[in-house]
Amino acid sequence: MGLMDMIRGEFVDIIEWLDDTRTTLAWRFPRYDNEIKNGAELIVREGQRAVFVYRGQLADQYGPGHYQLTTENMPIMSTLQGWRHGFNSPFRSEVYFINTRPVTVPQLR
């Protein structure tokens, strides 16, 4: 990622996936250093599931809805990263969006 991606990451607090192609199974949210701010907003649309992975381990998952990411609604992530009384600095995690709708595959002839 370049300098503009890093700067954009400082201001973007919304984590979402916009894809209407119905051909993608999963998509990794691009984030500089995988840092997510406390209070960031997660938007999971119908037909999607968001999965948080911390150090290769499934940490938390969310179904369709709109969430503000805090230690109260991320209990597994809070335990894995050792937060006891909340966190104020960015936390590191990979976020994957999984398509739960049927995927259209072109027919081969």
Q: For 1-29, how does the pLDDT look when each residue is reduced to its tens digit (9 = 90+)?
A: 565 555 444 555 899 999 878 788 999 99
Q: For 54-85, how does the pLDDT look when each residue is reduced to its tens digit (9 = 90+)?
A: 888 888 899 999 998 876 666 555 555 555 54
Tell whether the model's pLDDT for residue 41 goes beyond 50.
yes
Strands (E), 1-109: 14-16, 26-28, 35-36, 41-44, 48-54, 57-62, 65-68, 91-92, 94-99
